[in-house]
Structure 1
């Protein structure tokens, strides 16, 4: 039995066992949050457990019950409850933005801009982060730079997933099952077992089978049988151990395993639909996709171990943590010919087209941290720590073109050896100057180095016909094709200069040939040395209509092409080293026991990274860290309202964002033999050419009202503006001029994904009904319009001076404002609970991320409306 089947079997045994156990104790954290009378929300923003009202800054925490009742079943849905938060998933990369700050570069070339954590430990590659979204204690979102205490890549803030911990002396657990629309279903359970007075074990499992609502509208066979993107079958398990042999010593170990499978993460190219219909995206159905060629396929296997030792020396404590994580991701993008639109003739689509993209990522990371800290009863509550991080990656990417007119070209970037290493030292403290006045300060020094080695560039074949006519097409990627990527036998191309060597290298890039591929048949004779011009094949699907195989003659006795020009990827290698210092200073003043004012200044950095390079190109090998300087003032207040505790918190902030990275087109093939030199090719690169400013305000209000009503309101206002940045406009790329593009200034534009207004309001109530308790809640989120790219839908001015609107050119990138509504109702009798829920009840179709380039406007969308029933048993 393979590991996946074993995990599924173990999960089913766990769930069936927990469901059958008697109700002995109420599972803490699994009850009815609508009736919860606790005033405190505990957070760990300052690396110690505190009431959120005692923290200077904005940190939102959502408990497991609240998430479940809000209809937040997966990571991306967090943004409906946390204003200013944006989460998208592009081909498995989870991209987190907070207050308009983040990073879309989460491949080996870069790092996240908002740092994800699991139980306080940094997660370097957030692929599959949603697999950890079960048996939770809470999720914390820290807004603003957390460079001092959380360090690495906490430029925008942190997202910390905190799992449920074992409980000493308690036998408890829960089991739940749910069904939902679109044939979705899932199960989850946990069991807490005490093993003596000082040791406890907690085992948890999770399974879900769901569909994100994409539809295949292809009419031609066999494409109409393809499964759409967004189908998922995921399962995971976690084992947590806790040993507390004394009041001073605590040791915990958490091990987890998870696997994602399905048809890949949803994305749809809307370019042709916008050009063909003249309609804005909000007037089109972005989930009606014209699939063809490759079947989307995704498999992501993750596992990890975390350990923590905590010892209390009396006036201070010590903590040692270590973590090892492994990610093994593979995806075949679901290939499409765009989306359907009014007036489109789907019967005219070339469904026999296997152009597509393949992704492979392997990551193994180790993180260690040693921390000394003063206990909370000290006048100076300090932290001293050292942090070490090491990650080894191996990544592969192959983009195939099919059914081309001639001159075959594909693109491969495969890096078998990518290493990142970082260490840091930090000190942070809060000092009680007087009974009501506190001073806080912190500093952190970080040093990083990165290196990578591999190949990158084009596969290219130019194969001549009769009379040296240009030229025959090549097919690669048809049914059954799989690329070699990281399984290539060789990545050293420095000495490959002959056509035979190039042909061998291209063929080595194929692990399994496609059923109707022609590349090996065409150049195999070059690779084995039997014919330097290969083997000419004249087949209808590779014939452009006027090119014929050369007739056999004395100069062409073996049926080869009249000429065969081959191009292979070039060598990619490089290293970089960065260091930076983060710091924070601030004051906190208590107006009373329930009212606090604060002001602070803090910084954060995001790591630098690499650019793909090409032989002889002037592309900069690396880009430098980004920096954020933030000024923040606020007040946190709690008071009696209708005889009940209420909370009103206000915060204002100003961001100075410098050394900002924007994507820019840069020459990759400069012909210096001409005067003046002429560029014959361009590529997108990352450059530190930008700066922005952000100011805004946030409000958090929590009220408990008569009649057991509760009202929570969170609101964020953002005003973002680019203050420096000029780039080449990738939307106007002119391939007649070698791929050159006009320059465009981004000054005055808003940052992508930054809504000016974002409000989340939750109304809830509970009351006794018969033998149990009924509760309901409504979560409404409004988000004003935002842009999906740095271009802000500016007009396009082409190289010849002509002007076109972004809409007419196929590049609208403004997501209009929208409201989402989540609903929940539940009934609890003793340890049994029945819930009904609905997410995105209004069925808003929202673009959460866009890729914009020449003839490319790919949207990654939110989940369609989902609703279902859930049964839960606590014991």
Structure 2
């Protein structure tokens, strides 16, 4: 009954709901009077997109595509990629430790290691970007941004399972001098500058130079009462800058050549989440009742650096009835982050007396990527009865990836985990064809198919660092400090990654020491095992001090200054490879009821790449997982009409998703003791497995109205019903380390997909009017998003191995984000070439979790941006 009621509400709202924040160009410099209705019609309705890999009017595209000009995004307070979701129902964008994660209609991927791939494909000027770290550095001097919903496997290929996000930068204009410069200041001591210059170099050649700078923070607060830790800068502080050079040469109507080069750098304190597990357990409060931005920091200062650059070229030659286009791109990413480590968040009445602030346990990330993307396409002219795309695609990526978690103050047997891969290769090629055929003047059929072949491989190390160091009378154990002030791991700068022949204590000690680039000021590891590495003493060098002696352990007296025993563990060799192929297609029909009304129906598919997992001692050949696949059935109608004497738009789409071979994380045994009957597992680790399936159905409706009094009203409504239909996984929330890490099994069937709200509504109300010699305008962008879950567990009760039961809240694992609204406001005054703006994003300062990591004693949240407001001055020339 509940679902039926919501469906009825959705259909009723469809009559008045839903469009993107539509494009509105800047007021021409010499215009101070109101535009005519015809001018507004052309400006507001004729929006060009490239969803079908050719330029088309948005209203001629069957499907749901939302497009936004750079000017409109700026006026609506959307100056950061992550905030685009306030204008796009069904879109979720989160930043987990520097990696941009995009979900569309509940479909995406949260695996941002070298073993994973995005589930929604990001593009820059139509060229695929495999690693979306630093994607926000491209969000300036824009022509437009397109969000294409639903699988796009045929036209966009790999990893377009959920859809695509295409950032299209401003192009050079032939024969024109022009550009702009702007500066802004915002709350939280944030400021930014941006500008562009268009330079004509003869009648057939032009260049455009643009740049961007921002210094801002995300609104986190350091709530640590410790005198030293309270001086740490909180997470989310950033200072970014970027530049772009675009060249365009058009010697004739047939030939066009463009080259775009860009460089950007992000610096700051990084993007870690905050663990709310202890706060929920201690207070019994839900996350929305806590201040998630008040973080208790400790240990090292968080730091992040991300340097990226790329170049892409495009050449196009038009024949009489078709054109050939070739594109090529090279992109480099070099990312490093030392997390801004924290104890937890603060909560009312917390007792900090038991908190160990002298704890430098932390996580370090390093990721480098060099990717090449090439594509050749032949495209029929738009005037042809049969309009087709035919082409080939090639992709190659070389990655080098490092991760290290250090467990400072490790008193026994564990000092950290390292996964460092100096050689990670990915390669893919595809062939595709897609066509639209005019059966009659009003009836069209469309179809396409794509074949993709992929290969992946990697070489490196992965596993634990462990030092078990005995004191007098073989007492266990003397602790190890690792990660204190100034510590940096070597990661990709290690001299050696081959551990296959390292089986002596001397070799193991040397390997551990080589993993340290810069020792921490109070680290003990090198001093403790240096003698083992050099061969001076196979039992190392024993010493004690209050932070490593457990309060009672002393050094032995008969070991030449060494420990009573010294057992070392180093990471294992990681070698893996996988190969797979898949086939995508689409087919559909479009019918023009009138010149302004189209109905359509189509089916299309998409895939996300498969891969392999970590390898373990008991399974040197890693377990593989297959590509995920998604099929969508879609019907809809796109309509233009006259309302209040002006053109208006109403579009509606219904869809059904069949999601198969869905990957969920599961636990696998990594240390099986087969000497016992039955065999006993003494260790588990997470792996990716194709153990799920889901179905999704929904409805989206959009409308845009130009009302009397120069008002504009844009509405976009989405209703989404998701259900996991199969999938049994280990419940990592109930992992029992006394049982070797085993967890009870739980069925996910009947649960909703994470990050998928049932109801989402965005509404934009705008108005302009003339004041004196200039024009004043204002706009308000409202977004409502109903509740959603942050993990596949959907706050199910936890049943432990011993049969006891707890609610998710009692156990510290609430993962439901309650419904919330956000409001963006903007006002501006344009006088000739000059414009002054004020804006507020997230005006009511709503606090919402957009991503969570849920596992044993972990409930880590990644949040939306806090309230931002400021002023901006701009001059066009």
Which residue in the other structure is 1:783 paired with? 785
Matching of residues 710-729 of structure 1 within 5 Å: 710-729=712-731
1:117, 1:106 → 2: CA distance?
Answer: 17
What are the equivalent positions in structure 2 for 1:633-782 lying under 5 Å apart? 633-782=635-784
Q: Return the match for 1:163 from 163, 169, 180.
A: 169
Deviation for aligned residue 1:221:
2.6
The secondary structure found in structure 2 opposite 1:808 is helix
Q: What secondary structure, in the 3-state scheme, does the structure 2 residue paired with 1:560 have?
A: coil
1:49 corresponds to which of 40, 46, 55? 55
TM-score, reference length from structure 2: 0.95
- In structure 2, what is the Cα distance between the partners aligned to 1:617 and 1:513? 34
SS at match of 1:520: helix
CA distance in 2, matches of 1:266, 1:866: 20
Give, in whole Å, the separation in 1 of the partners of 2:817 and 2:403. 29
Residue from 522, 533, 539 that aligns with 1:533: 539
Query: Which residue of the partner structure matches residue 95 of structure 1?
Result: 101
Counterpart of 2:613 in structure 1 is 611
Q: CA deviation at 1:399?
A: 0.2
Q: Aligned partners of 1:818 and 1:619: how far apart in 2?
A: 46
For 1:414, what is the secondary structure of its paired residue?
strand
Equivalent residues in 2 for 1:856-875, closer than 5 Å: 856-875=858-877
**Post-superposition offset of 1:107:** 2.0
Rounded Cα–Cα distance in structure 2 between residues aligned with 1:580 and 1:649? 33
| Alpha-carbon separation, structure 2, partners of 1:832 and 1:329 | 38
- Partners of 1:171 and 1:754 lie apart in 2 by 46
Q: Is the 8 A contact 1:335 1:355 kept in 2?
A: yes
Q: Deviations over 1:628-681 (max 9, x none)?
A: 011000000010001101100000000000000001111111111111111111
Corresponding position of 1:826: 828
CA distance in 2, matches of 1:27, 1:224: 54
Post-superposition offset of 1:314: 1.1
- Number of the residue aligned with 1:14: none
Q: Does 1:457 align with 2:459?
A: no
For the residue of structure 1 that corresponds to 2:810, the secondary structure is: coil
Deviation at residue 405 of structure 1 after TM alignment: 3.6
Q: 1:183 aligns with which of 175, 182, 189?
A: 189
Per-residue deviation, 1:469:
1.1
How far apart are the structure 1 equivalents of 2:528 and 2:455?
44
In the TM superposition, residue 343 of structure 1 has moved relative to its aligned partner by 1.6
Question: 1:212 aligned to 218, 221, 226, which one?
Answer: 218
Q: 1:630 maps to what in 2?
A: 632
Q: Contact between 2:30 and 2:832, CA under 8 Å: does it hold in 1?
A: no
Residue 12 of structure 2 corresponds to which residue in structure 1? none
Counterpart mapping for 1:806-817 below 5 A: 806-817=808-819
Q: Which moved more, 1:609-618 or 1:708-717?
A: 609-618
Structure 2 residue runs without a partner (length 5+): 1-25
Q: Is the 8 A contact 1:26 1:172 kept in 2?
A: no
Distance in 2 between residues matched to 1:500 and 1:853, nearest whole Å = 36
Q: Give the match's secondary structure for 1:504.
A: helix
Listed one character per residue, the Cα deviations across residues 299-318 of structure 1 (whole Å, up to 9, x for unaligned) are 00000000000100110000
Partner secondary structure for residue 155 of structure 1: coil
Q: How does 1:341-356 map to 2 (within 5 A)?
A: 341-356=347-362
Instruction: Measure, in 1, the Cα distance between the counterparts of 2:286 and 2:208.
Output: 51
2:576–2:615 CA contact under 8 A, matched in 1? no
Equivalent residues of 1:24, 1:172 under 8 A apart: no
2:394 counterpart (370, 382, 388): 388
Alignment partner for residue 64 of structure 2, among 52, 58, 66? 58
Deviation at 1:407, TM superposition (A): 2.5
Identify the range of structure 1 (401-410 vs 424-433) with the bigger mean alpha-carbon deviation. Answer: 401-410
Tell me the equivalent position of 1:292: 298
Partners of 1:483 and 1:106 lie apart in 2 by 21
1:359 shift after superposition: 0.2
Q: 2:602 aligns with which of 590, 596, 600?
A: 600
Displacement after TM superposition at 1:466 (Å): 1.2
Task: Find 2:263's aligned residue among 257, 269, 273.
Answer: 257
Q: For 2:339 and 2:717, locate their aligned partners in 1 and report how far apart those are by CA, in whole Å.
A: 37
The equivalent residue for 1:469 is 475
Cα distance in structure 2, aligned partners of 1:613 and 1:86: 32
Match of 2:123 in 1: 117
Distance in 2 between the 1:609 and 1:846 partners?
Answer: 32
Provide the rounded CA distance (Å) in 2 between the counterparts of 1:169 and 1:181: 40
Does residue 579 (structure 1) correspond to residue 581 (structure 2)? The answer is yes
SS at match of 2:492: helix
Checking the alignment, whether the CA contact within 8 Å between 2:797 and 2:808 is kept in structure 1 is: yes
Tell me the equivalent position of 2:15. Answer: none
Kindly indicate whether residue 468 of structure 2 is the aligned counterpart of residue 426 of structure 1: no
Contact 2:409–2:482, Cα closer than 8 Å, also in 1: no
Shift of 1:832: 0.4
> Which stretch has the larger CA shift, 617-626 or 42-51?
617-626
Report if aligned partners of 1:316, 1:373 keep a CA contact under 8 Å in 2: yes
In the alignment, the residues of structure 1 paired with residue 555 and residue 272 of structure 2 have an alpha-carbon distance, to the nearest angstrom, of: 42
1:837 corresponding residue in structure 2: 839
Provide the secondary structure at the position in 1 that maps to 2:483.
Answer: coil
Residues 305/459 of structure 1: CA separation in 2 closer, same or farther (3 Å cut): same
Distance 2:658 2:35 in 1: 43
2:854 is matched with: 852
Inter-CA distance 36–665: structure 2 relative to 1 (3 Å threshold): farther
**Unmatched 5+ residue regions in structure 1?**
1-22
The answer for the alignment partner of 1:441 in structure 2 is: 447
3-state SS of paired residue (2:811): coil
Sort the Cα spacing of 1:462 and 1:383 in 2 relative to 1 into closer, same or farther, 3 A: same
Structure 1 residues 380 and 24, CA gap change in structure 2 (3 angstroms): closer
Distance in 2 (alpha carbons) for counterparts of 1:27 and 1:376 = 35
2: CA distance between counterparts of 1:471 and 1:24?
A: 73
Specify the alignment match of 1:17 in structure 2: none
Shift in alpha-carbon separation, 1:162–1:107, aligned structure 2, 3 A: same
Match of 1:505 among 507, 511, 523: 511
Q: Confirm or deny: 8 A CA contact 1:25 1:874 kept in the other structure.
A: no
Q: Would the alpha carbon gap of residues 492 and 618 (structure 1) be closer, same or farther in structure 2, given more than 3 Å must change? A: closer
Residue number in structure 2 paired with 1:485: 491
On the 8 A contact 1:40/1:52 being kept in 2, the answer is yes
Contact 1:33 1:65 in 2 (8 A): no
Q: CA RMSD in A?
A: 1.6
- For the 8 Å contact 2:120–2:165, the answer to whether it is kept is yes
Alpha-carbon contact 1:847-1:861 (below 8 Å) kept: yes
SS in 1 for 2:654: strand
What does residue 592 of structure 2 align with?
Answer: 590
1:360 aligns with 2:366: yes
What is the aligned partner in structure 1 of residue 78 from structure 2? 72
Residue 795 of structure 1 aligns with which residue? 797
3-state SS, counterpart of residue 110 of structure 2: coil
**Aligned mates of 1:51, 1:155 — CA distance in 2:** 24
Alpha carbons 1:88, 1:96 under 8 Å: kept: yes
CA distance in 2, matches of 1:406, 1:724: 41
Tell me which of 784, 794, 807 is aligned to 1:805: 807
State the aligned residue count: 847
Question: Deviation above 3 Å: which 4+ runs of structure 1?
Answer: 23-28, 31-37, 617-620
> 1:228-255 CA deviation, whole Å, 9 max, x = no partner?
0000000000000000001100000000
2:20 maps to none
Q: 1:24: how far off? A: 14
User: Which of the numbers 338, 346, 361 marks the counterpart of 1:340?
Assistant: 346
Helix, strand or coil at the partner of 1:736: helix
Please give the alpha-carbon distance, in whole angstroms, between the structure 2 residues aligned to 1:427 and 1:24: 41
**Separation in 2, partners of 1:695, 1:705:** 33
* Secondary structure class of the residue paired with 1:101: coil
Q: In structure 2, how many angstroms separate the alpha carbons of the residues matched to 1:377 and 1:864?
A: 49
Instruction: Please say if residues 27 and 830 of structure 2, whose CA atoms lie closer than 8 Å, have aligned partners that are also in contact.
Output: no
